[in-house]
Amino acid sequence: MVGKTKVGAASPMGFILGFGIVSMLMDIVYEAALSVQGPLLYSVGATAAVVGLVSGLGEATSLAGRLASGPAADRSGRYWTFALLGYAATGLAVPAMGFAGSVLGVSFLIVFERFGKSLRTPSRDAMLSHAASRVGRGKGFAFHEALDQVGAVAGPLIAAAILQATHNAYGPALGVMFIPGLGAIGVLLYLRYRVPRPEVFEEDDEADSAEDDAVSASKVSAAEPIKLPRLFWIYTGFCGLVLAGVGTFGVMSFHMVSAQIVSAPTVAVLYAVAMGVDGVFALITGSIYDKVGVRVLLVLPVVSAIVPLFAFGNSLVSVIAGVVLWGASLGIQESTMRAAVADMVPGCKRATSYGMLSVFMGVGSFVGAGVTGALYAHGQAAIVMYALVLEAAACVLLFLALRGARK
């Protein structure tokens, strides 16, 4: 068949590791910007209200964009185009932030970078899911997440070192991020050259491929909305509830500093520790997923429920334990949660499903941060009780999903 990619053009694990390197390099770029976003806006004259507004608008853009980019990628089949445009947006926006020099300029670039993430994420996960079918969904997504977290640790540390050396000059600190950004685009173009159609990793033979292509085209090119399985909607409800219950690092770090448990620089170190734990648990639970399936996710609401019990404690040991548990929860979310979707939804609808999953998880994080922040004034017990209720509800939905998967 003309244009058909042979599986031998690149091994499935080679493809996954290649995409992991892309994500690692681009996470150096993105996480560097995220770690200094507040101080950067402050340096150009933004108020706290403006910082909150810009952050919220950026995340809203990221979530809303995925509702459009996922179905658009499935209908057009242009997964590589969406991925390239999305990564290019981040690679250009972040280096420019340090030189924008105004609240409006920095704010626009922050939102534009989030728009880029909304373009690339559903298509990236859809393509990864095809290669992961050959090595194990859990293992495939776990290896990708582990490499991703290397960048998440390195980016803030690089930015902090340059800011320290240049007396808080944001131009050099973020301008240097053009280098890993360019490297990520280069690796992505190489992967595109080697594997133009990643879906071939999931096709058994040429005959089945031709038949599947025809069926897929009829499903995604029709004017009617792309329908996703009922099991998927139950599962995404579970994912949203888990994230709503566990809260975010922002509120946890606020507690650490306001309660004078650790200094602000130490918070950055603890965040790096959490990212390292994230990568380790992604590998562990990803491998277990390939053996026992979605049942491995039963541990997630349990871990998430006890995070606030430690993270909002009043001792250094308690806070460190909370950070480690939060990092473990994040590692399961970013690897095994994504892997499970690929086993619920056919390949021709996966970009749509990953976009929708991101929306549910994003809304869950938003709700969790808001409620946890509001409850903070009422003490740790209120936060713990809230987490227990949400995670218990999440367990109910996961049991329903497990029943549906057995039918």
Structural domain spans, the chain: 10-220, 230-406
pLDDT at residue 48, as a whole number: 63
Distance CA(353)–CA(346), nearest Å, equals: 10
Residues contacting residue 228 through CB under 8 Å, at least 6 positions apart: 345, 349, 352, 353, 356
Q: How far apart are CA 272 and CA 266, in angstroms?
A: 10
Cα torsion angle, 175, 177, 179, 183, sign: negative
CA atoms of 125 and 137, how far apart (whole Å): 11
pLDDT tens by residue, 83-132? 999 999 999 999 999 999 899 999 999 999 999 999 999 999 899 999 99
Alpha carbon separation from 304 to 12, 67, 93, 307, 347 (Å, rounded): 32, 27, 34, 5, 30
Q: Tens digit of pLDDT for each residue in 327-347?
A: 999 889 888 888 888 888 887
For 356-405, the pLDDT digits (tens) are: 888 888 888 878 878 888 888 888 899 999 999 999 999 999 999 888 76
Domains 10-220 and 230-406 share a fold: yes
Which residues are CB-contacts of 386 (< 8 A; sequence separation ≥ 6)? 245, 371, 372, 375
Instruction: Supply the CATH classification number for the domain 230-406.
Output: 1.20.1250.20
Give CA 168 to chain center in angstroms: 29
CATH number of the domain located at residue range(s) 10-220 in this protein: 1.20.1250.20
pLDDT of residue 220: 53
Most confident of 3-7, 59-63, 89-93, 311-315: 89-93
For the chain, the maximum distance between any two Cα atoms, rounded to a whole number of angstroms, is 65
Amino acid identity, residue 381? A
In terms of DSSP H, where are the helices of 221-349?
230-246, 249-258, 264-292, 299-311, 316-334, 336-342
